[in-house]
Structure 1
Amino acid sequence: MSKTSLDPTLIQAYRRTRYSADLGGEAIVLRIDVPSVVVAAAIQASSSPGAAFITAENPYSSPNSAQENAASMALLKGELEALGATVFEGVGQGDDPAWPGEASYLALGLSRDQACLLGRKYQQNAIVWIGVHGTPELVLLR
């Protein structure tokens, strides 16, 4: 794992999170390092370099109001679409019941660099990158 300023407990929480999305009518749940045949097929069918599971909610894991989160998510969706990504609604739900699930997007058609830039722009600690083989990877941004 690369050098990071993130607390190891937070990283483990991200690794245990269930990343769920509705992929064109098919409900999927992604787990870090567990391949998804469905997502791999979608990526390959779109001839894209990969996909990202990304949010703009709660920058640096600091809770924002529902209004702030909704506004940030709308901006992120606009940027994803402007980059030509196909965007699906999703939720990242951790094991801690005290922390509500975060609205997210599964975006097909991004490069890893584009996904990381957007994650940093929206002050996220990490994104989930899924390459052509469909294995979700936790990418730490700090």
Structure 2
Amino acid sequence: MDKNLQQAYLNTDYIIDDELGFWQINIGDTDRPLSRYLNTFENPTAAFITAYNPMSKRLKEGQNKQRLQQLQQAVGKLGLASCKGYGLSQQNDWPQEHSLLITNITKQQASQLAKDFQQAAYVWINEHGLVSLVGQQDY
């Protein structure tokens, strides 16, 4: 992954804002409360994935919203739950991207979804609450 793109992911706040409440996660951090929540599932892991702007190419808002609906449908077909969220650039140099925090998901499923929706990377939360970036080269 290009270093500038990687830095953009690192300089993003990943916000979960749903019926669960409000959480902000960042790559490299460990989020214990989120980990406790995830450990209520069979697979105590989660992925924060967007369908917006495939391969970091900006699309019109209507196209992005349609892609997000398709991601929600794909998640539903897998029988997985999700919470609404968004990625927000700390430097305000990239538009907000609506996303999903998908719970009870395996890394293989997450990688396949990211690949299907042409994402350069996604955010992975392991069973200990460690937040990491998974780049396309790792799919």
Could you tell me which residue of structure 1 aligns to residue 16 of structure 2?
21
Partner Cα distance (2:49, 2:77) in 1: 15
> Counterparts of 1:7 and 1:55 in 2: how far apart (Å)?
19
Contact (CA 8 Å) 2:11, 2:91: kept in 1 or not?
A: no
The percent identity for this pair of structures is 31
Structure 1, unaligned stretches of length 5 or more? 1-5
Aligned residue type for 1:22: D
**Alignment partner, residue 82 of structure 1:** 77
2:95 partner letter: P
Match of 2:109 in 1: 114
Whether the 8 Å CA contact 1:84–1:109 is kept in 2: the answer is no
**Is the Cα–Cα contact under 8 Å of residues 35 and 44 in structure 2 kept in the other structure?**
no
Give me the CA root mean square deviation: 1.2
TM-score scaled by structure 1?
0.91
Match status 1:62 vs 2:40: no
- Deviation at residue 23 of structure 1 after TM alignment: 5.0
Runs of 4+ in 1 over 3 A off after TM superposition: none
Unaligned runs of 5+ in 2: none
Q: Name the structure 1 match of 2:31.
A: 36
